[in-house]
């Protein structure tokens, strides 16, 4: 078999730290080759070596059998290597075409020639079934579409080998399905793909072979058809991983959270949550299943006081907290793991220790009569870092420097440590690897077993199915049904999420319609 890219025994050091140690990756022409590893295992470093951003200390790179020295990204471009970045590199208020030609604008008599470029973009878009309008403005199009613009960008520059860096991290399930179609189409047209990911399901669905790395070490390459998710997870983490989260039966008692006929509007005055009713009892985990954008964010923000309630009530332990300030809600016994950890969860420029104190900085023992004791913050942070296995150099390291999984563990530590009666966890495992997901799920279940109420919001069906004791399906701002995970299937849930509720059942279940 012909290899288009061979990275042989690559070694990359940063000072005393070995980021890549003896890693070999061979990409066959026309295959989708997955690169699997935990957060921080060295996947990005390896790809940055291939893309010419880092120079390796050892090993060699061959492209189409010829030894090459990729000294900078321009060399990689000329060799036909293109990268689709996880965080898109797009100018928001430029059109698709403008973004694609950015940096190598074609000119006609000294004036940028956007028309010809747009035609070329349209042609490429059609050839690969990308369905992108070359004149659309980036900020007006969906995240999935933006990603296709990134793909087009590499194709426009003549890439034969495409590197996808965690491409599904910010996509909806629908968009993921489309992306997989596109990747298969690219292969059919003769391209080769390296897929960087830690999601096993995607690898099983789409890849031909998998190269696994763990803590900077090359573990080996396996053929997808001859392996299974359990084996891959074990290779990646270095131990057996349980997928079916272990948990005993729930023993729910009285109601902790009661939401009655809640209506919440967005800034345009359009109702996003419509007469929603929901209860979460002590000692149970209620999962909210739904497709992104069906009112989940608005529901959580309304409960936690971050968004105005139009009508209806939110009760905690029977106490009305509707319209209260976020701090009052928090003090009523609510912990909140926010959906967007960078926007709401953390002050990225603060040390991680300050972030751990973000909800308690104004209370004893951290502060007394408005005077802070930063030593107490450090003590508290060290305890949470230890208890929640946050991998960091210490409380003084800026939050920005931590990996996503460790940032999330710090947030969960902060919220769980306050021992709230109601814990709201919004997409708590988004973008994390299996090891971190397992840890977070077991923490949520531990809270439940300690007699606390947990409200879990997730877009991942297996997460909702595995962790919840009851599942409330949300569609278009309403809870369309409440089901028990053991008595339902992913297909049924999927139908409910898409709005195909069982009409006969619906009438009886809802108090207000």
Partner 1 sequence: MSNRATNLLVPIVSVVLGLIVGAIIMLVSGYSPIEGYAALWNGIFGDLYTIGETLRQITPYLLAGLAVAFAFRSGLFNIGVEGQLIVGWFAAAYVGVAVELPKIIHLPLAILAAAVAGALWGFVPGLLKAKFRVHEVIVTIMMNYIALHVTNALIRTVSDGGDRTERIFASASLRSEFLENLTEFSRLHLGLLLALIMVAVMWFILEKTTLGFELKAVGFNQHASEYAGMNVNKNIIMAMVISGAFAGLAGAMEALGTFEYVSSKGGFTGIGFDGIAVALLGMNTPLGVVFGATLFGSLKYGALNMPNAAGIPIEIVEIVIAVIIFFVASGYIIRLLLLRAAGKKKEAK
- 297 sits near partner 1 (criterion: CB under 8 A): no
Helix axes 143-156, 114-127, angle to 10 degrees: 110
| Stretch binding partner 1 (CB under 8 A), from 95-103, 164-172, 344-352, 474-482 | 344-352
CB of 213 to partner 1, least distance (A): 29
CB of 370 to partner 1, least distance (A): 5
- 188 sits near partner 1 (criterion: CB under 8 A): no
CB of 16 to partner 1, least distance (A): 16
CB of 135 to partner 1, least distance (A): 32
- 506 sits near partner 1 (criterion: CB under 8 A): no
CB 407 within 8 A of CB 398: no
Residue 80 or 335 having the CB closest to partner 1: 335
CA Rg value for the chain = 25
Tell which one of 271, 315, 372, 501 touches partner 1 (CB under 8 A). Answer: 372
Residue 109 or 371 having the CB closest to partner 1: 371
- 327 sits near partner 1 (criterion: CB under 8 A): yes
- Residue 96, C-beta contacts closer than 8 angstroms, at least 6 positions apart: 121, 132, 133, 134, 135, 136, 137, 138, 141, 149, 152
Tell which one of 24, 367, 382, 488 touches partner 1 (CB under 8 A). Answer: 367
Sheet of strand 17-28: strand arrangement: 66-68, 58-63, 3-14, 17-28, 217-223, 209-214, 32-36, 192-197, 161-165, 81-84
Tell which one of 12, 120, 272, 354 touches partner 1 (CB under 8 A). Answer: 354
Alpha carbon distances (Å) from 92 to 95, 99, 139, 146, 424: 8, 9, 5, 10, 32
Q: 448-477 burial by CB neighbour count: b if 16+ within 10 A, else e?
A: beeebbbbbbbbbbebbbbbbbbbbbbbeb
Tell which one of 362, 383, 394, 506 touches partner 1 (CB under 8 A). Answer: 362
Kindly tell me the sign of the dihedral angle through the C-alpha atoms of 394, 400, 406, 407.
Answer: positive
CB of 479 to partner 1, least distance (A): 25
- Decide: residue 16, CB within 10 A, 0-12 exposed, 13-18 middle, 19+ buried: exposed
CB of 326 to partner 1, least distance (A): 5
CA distance linking residue 433 with residue 199, whole number of Å: 7
Alpha carbon distances (Å) from 344 to 268, 336, 340: 22, 10, 6
Tell which one of 114, 153, 336, 441 touches partner 1 (CB under 8 A). Answer: 336
Number of residues counted as binding partner 1 (CB under 8 A): 27
- For residue 90, the SS3 value is coil
How many C-alpha atoms does 455 have within 13 Å on its Cβ side? 31
CB 295 within 8 A of CB 272: yes
- 350 sits near partner 1 (criterion: CB under 8 A): yes
CB 124 within 8 A of CB 157: no
- 308 sits near partner 1 (criterion: CB under 8 A): no
The DSSP code sequence of 208-246 is SEEEEEETTEEEEEEEGGG--HHHHHHHHHSS---SS--
CB of 327 to partner 1, least distance (A): 3
Residue 85 or 418 having the CB closest to partner 1: 418
- 349 sits near partner 1 (criterion: CB under 8 A): yes
Residue 253 or 375 having the CB closest to partner 1: 375
- 325 sits near partner 1 (criterion: CB under 8 A): yes
- 326 sits near partner 1 (criterion: CB under 8 A): yes
- 135 sits near partner 1 (criterion: CB under 8 A): no
CB 238 within 8 A of CB 231: no
Tell which one of 75, 180, 348, 498 touches partner 1 (CB under 8 A). Answer: 348
**Structure tokens belonging to residue 392:** 């960091």
- 306 sits near partner 1 (criterion: CB under 8 A): yes
Select from 305, 342, 346 the least CA-distant residue to 327.
305
Tell which one of 29, 344, 418, 510 touches partner 1 (CB under 8 A). Answer: 344
CB of 359 to partner 1, least distance (A): 6
- 346 sits near partner 1 (criterion: CB under 8 A): yes
How many C-alpha atoms does 3 have within 13 Å on its Cβ side? 15
CB of 417 to partner 1, least distance (A): 14
Residue 82 or 305 having the CB closest to partner 1: 305
- 147 sits near partner 1 (criterion: CB under 8 A): no
- 404 sits near partner 1 (criterion: CB under 8 A): no
- 391 sits near partner 1 (criterion: CB under 8 A): no
- 270 sits near partner 1 (criterion: CB under 8 A): no
SS (H, E, C) 47-75: HHHHCCCCCCCEEEEEECCEEECCCCHHH
- 359 sits near partner 1 (criterion: CB under 8 A): yes
Tell which one of 256, 330, 332, 429 touches partner 1 (CB under 8 A). Answer: 330
By the criterion CB under 8 A, which residues form the site for partner 1? 304, 306, 325-328, 330, 336, 338, 343-350, 354, 358-359, 361-362, 367, 370-372, 374
């Amino acid at each position: 078999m012909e290899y288009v890219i061979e990275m042989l025994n690559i070694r990359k050091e940063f000072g005393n730290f070995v980021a890549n140690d003896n890693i070999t990756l061979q990409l066959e022409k026309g295959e989708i080759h997955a690169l699997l590893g935990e957060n921080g295992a060295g996947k990005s470093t390896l790809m940055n070596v291939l893309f010419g951003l880092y120079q390796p200390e050892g090993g060699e790179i061959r492209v189409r059998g010829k030894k090459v020295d990729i000294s900078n990204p321009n060399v990689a471009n000329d060799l036909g290597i293109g990268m689709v970045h996880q965080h898109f590199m797009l100018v928001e208020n430029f059109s698709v075409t403008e973004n694609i030609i950015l940096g190598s604008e074609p000119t006609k008599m000294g004036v940028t020639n956007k028309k010809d470029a747009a035609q070329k973009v349209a042609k490429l878009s059609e050839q690969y079934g990308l369905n992108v309008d070359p004149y659309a403005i980036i900020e007006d199009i969906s995240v999935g579409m933006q990603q296709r613009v990134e793909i087009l960008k590499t194709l426009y520059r003549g890439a034969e080998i495409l590197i996808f860096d965690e491409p599904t991290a910010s996509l909806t399930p629908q968009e993921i399905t489309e992306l997989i179609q596109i990747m298969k189409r690219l292969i059919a047209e003769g391209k080769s793909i390296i897929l960087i990911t830690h999601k096993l399901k995607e690898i099983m669905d789409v890849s031909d072979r998998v190269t696994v790395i763990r803590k900077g070490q090359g573990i080996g390459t396996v053929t997808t058809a001859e392996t299974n998710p359990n084996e891959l997870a074990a290779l990646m983490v270095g131990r057996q991983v349980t997928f079916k989260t272990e948990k005993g039966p729930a023993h729910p008692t009285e109601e902790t959270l009661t939401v009655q006929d809640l209506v919440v509007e967005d800034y345009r005055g359009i109702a996003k949550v419509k007469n929603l009713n929901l209860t979460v009892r002590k000692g149970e985990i209620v999962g909210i299943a739904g497709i992104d954008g069906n009112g989940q964010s608005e529901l959580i923000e309304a409960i936690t006081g971050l968004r105005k309630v139009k009508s209806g009530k939110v009760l905690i332990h029977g106490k009305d907290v509707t319209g209260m300030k976020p701090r009052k809600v928090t003090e009523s016994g609510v912990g909140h793991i926010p959906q967007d950890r960078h926007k709401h969860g953390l002050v990225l420029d603060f040390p991680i220790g300050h972030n751990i104190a973000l909800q308690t900085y104004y209370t004893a023992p951290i502060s007394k009569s408005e005077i802070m004791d930063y030593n107490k913050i450090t003590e508290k942070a060290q305890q949470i870092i230890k208890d929640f296995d946050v991998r960091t150099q210490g409380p003084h390291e800026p939050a920005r420097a931590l990996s996503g999984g460790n940032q999330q563990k710090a947030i969960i530590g902060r919220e769980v440590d306050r021992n709230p009666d109601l814990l709201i966890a919004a997409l708590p495992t988004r973008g994390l690897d299996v090891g971190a997901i397992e840890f977070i799920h077991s923490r949520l279940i531990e809270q439940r077993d300690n007699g606390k109420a947990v409200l879990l919001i997730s877009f991942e069906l297996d997460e909702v199915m595995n962790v919840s004791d009851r599942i409330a399906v949300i569609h278009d701002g309403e809870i369309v049904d409440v089901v028990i995970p053991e008595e339902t299937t992913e297909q049924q849930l999927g139908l409910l999420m898409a709005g195909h509720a069982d009409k006969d059942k619906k009438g009886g279940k809802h108090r207000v319609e």
